[in-house]
């Protein structure tokens, strides 16, 4: 029997140990960190040999014919070993026999995945979420007899090394520069995304927004065998029911997928999306707090700014901007914010605060730089106590805190991604707005 190597011991690695262990394979696992007691028990359960990546990399690959690396591992420095490597998606393709709808893109794919799965369930079908969300992909294989469909959210890391995976319907929401610290160039990132349809047959389908179609043509990347171009300018009754979607293209993709499957959107359907996506948290002294910490790119920030300015009919917005850029140039973001006249004041904080403030100066955007969020909040409380309609805060490249005074809204970012931290932050902001 083939000897299976598992590289990495996160969620993918642990699920792979169970998957191959239950099937009687000889397994080795390599990791670059010491094992916890729970991890040791799991390896003992299936008699898995442990390899230390720091000292046993070569022997690990010599002793295993097939190796499954975690998607989080950057394989560029390990080119000689790539022929032995496989992916979760290729294993899924070999074992999962029910229809698969797969979604990738830079922005909105998680919300699309959740809403599409809910809409399919509302049509009486048994559906599971997998990939970046929901059930681990290898666990889906053992659950498929109880499913009619699987809806997968897929990242560029998961698609990067795919050789066989071919979903029945593939969706690409959009492609903006992202993860360039991993993919190096925009074209490499685009190419990883297009692997979602590379192996499709003529009987399978890809749905592409017009903007993505044009990008792929300009990059001279192969198009799918069978595809439909979606035009966001075309509105339908279905898309009016998807007002929780920030990007019009994504609502159209959901509606087109349901139409392809012969399903409908019920106007009584109540769709929910995951936390950290314009998520209402609390109302304190008339100020409602929203968490939009998954807004991690300039395009998402601009879309949210425009949507809120229109919805609340205001341009009196104060923006908090911080976090890391993940290799994305944020100077154009500052330029577009300045030109839009949506933001009255930007407060920058964190390790890149001074650079962001310099760009604000270039584009004549009022700005103040500090080292911490607490300093920013203190400055705002003294400077704008009576005149603010909004505070809008971005953190990880463009994750957001937003506070509206009177029409109150708050966006919270990565530093408040769990309930415990949210409870600590809300009283601090509450004191600011007294």
CA–CA separation, 125 vs 107, rounded Å? 27
Specify whether 97 is located in the same domain as 233.
yes
User: Could you read off the pLDDT of 226-272 as tens digits, one per residue?
Assistant: 999 988 665 455 555 455 555 677 888 998 999 999 998 876 567 77
User: Could you read off the pLDDT of 41-50 as tens digits, one per residue?
Assistant: 999 999 999 9
What b-and-e string marks burial along 134-154, b requiring 16 or more CB atoms within 10 Å of the CB? Answer: bbbbbebbeeeeebebbbbbb
Specify whether 41 is located in the same domain as 136.
no
| pLDDT reading at 325 higher than 60 | yes
Specify whether 327 is located in the same domain as 348.
yes
Residue 353 is predicted with a pLDDT of 86
Specify whether 419 is located in the same domain as 334.
yes
- What are the C-alpha distances in Å from 417 to residues 145, 278, 291, 400? 35, 13, 8, 11
Which range is least confidently modeled, 2-6, 22-26, 134-138, 352-356?
352-356
By residue range, what is the domain housing residue 370? 279-432
User: Could you read off the pLDDT of 57-109 as tens digits, one per residue?
Assistant: 999 999 999 999 999 999 999 999 999 999 999 999 999 999 999 999 988 88
Residue 395 is predicted with a pLDDT of 37
| pLDDT reading at 287 higher than 60 | no
Which range is least confidently modeled, 4-8, 136-140, 143-147, 316-320?
316-320
Specify whether 378 is located in the same domain as 287.
yes
Specify whether 246 is located in the same domain as 98.
yes
Specify whether 215 is located in the same domain as 179.
yes
Name the DSSP letter for residue 48.
Answer: P
CA–CA separation, 10 vs 16, rounded Å? 10
Q: What is the mean pLDDT of the chain?
A: 80
Specify whether 216 is located in the same domain as 346.
no
Pinpoint the alpha helices (H) of 199-352.
210-218, 237-240, 248-261, 298-312, 331-340
Sequence-separated (6 or more) residues with CB below 8 Å from residue 34: none
- What is the number of structural domains in the chain? 3
The answer to whether the beta carbons of residues 138 and 88 sit under 8 Å apart is yes
Residue 173 or 290, more confident: 173
Residue 416 is predicted with a pLDDT of 32
CATH number at residue 53: 3.40.50.720
Specify whether 251 is located in the same domain as 105.
yes
Residue 97 lies in a domain: yes
Most confident of 179-183, 370-374, 398-402: 179-183
Residue 234 is predicted with a pLDDT of 55
Residue 404 is predicted with a pLDDT of 33
Residue 416 or 29, more confident: 29
The answer to whether the beta carbons of residues 227 and 97 sit under 8 Å apart is no
Q: What is the mean pLDDT of residues 175-203?
A: 91
The answer to whether the beta carbons of residues 213 and 198 sit under 8 Å apart is no
What is the model's pTM?
0.76
CA–CA separation, 47 vs 21, rounded Å? 8
Specify whether 113 is located in the same domain as 257.
yes
What b-and-e string marks burial along 63-91, b requiring 16 or more CB atoms within 10 Å of the CB? Answer: ebeebbbbbebeeeebeebeebbbbbbbb
Specify whether 194 is located in the same domain as 103.
yes
| pLDDT reading at 425 higher than 80 | no
Q: What is the mean pLDDT of residues 301-317?
A: 68
Specify whether 331 is located in the same domain as 379.
yes
């Amino acid at each position: 029997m083939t000897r299976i190597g598992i590289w990495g011991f996160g969620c993918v690695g642990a699920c792979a140990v169970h998957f191959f262990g239950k099937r009687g394979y000889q397994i080795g696992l390599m990791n670059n960190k010491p094992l916890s007691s729970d991890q040791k028990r799991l390896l003992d359960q299936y008699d898995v040999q442990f390899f230390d990546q720091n000292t046993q990399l070569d022997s690990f690959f010599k002793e295993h014919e097939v190796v499954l690396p975690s998607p989080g591992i950057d394989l560029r420095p390990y080119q000689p070993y790539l022929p032995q490597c496989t992916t979760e998606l290729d294993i899924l393709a070999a074992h999962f026999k029910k229809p698969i709808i797969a979604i990738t893109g830079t922005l909105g794919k998680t919300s699309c995945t959740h809403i599409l799965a809910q809409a399919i369930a509302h049509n009486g079908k048994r559906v599971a979420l997998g990939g970046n969300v929901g059930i681990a992909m290898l666990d889906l294989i053992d659950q498929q007899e109880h499913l009619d469909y699987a809806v997968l959210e897929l990242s560029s890391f998961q698609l990067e090394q795919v050789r066989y995976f071919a979903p029945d319907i593939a969706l690409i929401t959009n492609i903006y520069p992202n993860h360039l610290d991993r993919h190096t160039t925009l074209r490499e990132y685009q190419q990883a995304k297009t692997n979602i349809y590379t192996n499709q047959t003529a009987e399978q389908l890809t749905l592409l927004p017009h903007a993505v179609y044009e990008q792929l043509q300009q990059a001279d990347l192969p198009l799918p065998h069978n595809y439909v171009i979606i035009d966001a300018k075309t509105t339908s009754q279905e898309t009016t029911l998807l007002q929780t979607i920030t990007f019009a293209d994504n609502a159209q993709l959901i509606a087109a997928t349901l139409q392809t499957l012969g399903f409908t959107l019920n106007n009584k359907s109540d769709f929910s999306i995951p936390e950290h996506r314009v998520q209402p948290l609390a109302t304190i002294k008339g100020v409602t707090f929203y968490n939009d910490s998954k807004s991690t790119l300039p395009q998402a920030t601009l879309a949210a700014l425009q949507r809120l300015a229109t919805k609340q009919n205001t341009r009196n917005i104060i923006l908090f901007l911080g976090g890391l850029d993940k290799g994305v140039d944020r100077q154009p973001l500052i330029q577009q914010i300045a030109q839009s006249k949506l933001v009255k004041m930007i407060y920058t904080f964190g390790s890149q605060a001074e650079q962001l403030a310099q760009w604000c100066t270039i584009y004549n955007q009022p700005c103040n730089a500090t080292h911490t969020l607490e300093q920013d909040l203190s400055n705002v409380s003294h400077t704008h106590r009576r005149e603010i309609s909004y505070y809008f805060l971005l953190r990880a490249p463009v994750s957001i805190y937003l506070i509206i005074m009177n029409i109150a809204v708050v966006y919270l970012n990565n530093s408040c991604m769990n309930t415990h931290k949210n409870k600590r932050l809300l009283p601090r902001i509450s004191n600011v707005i007294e």
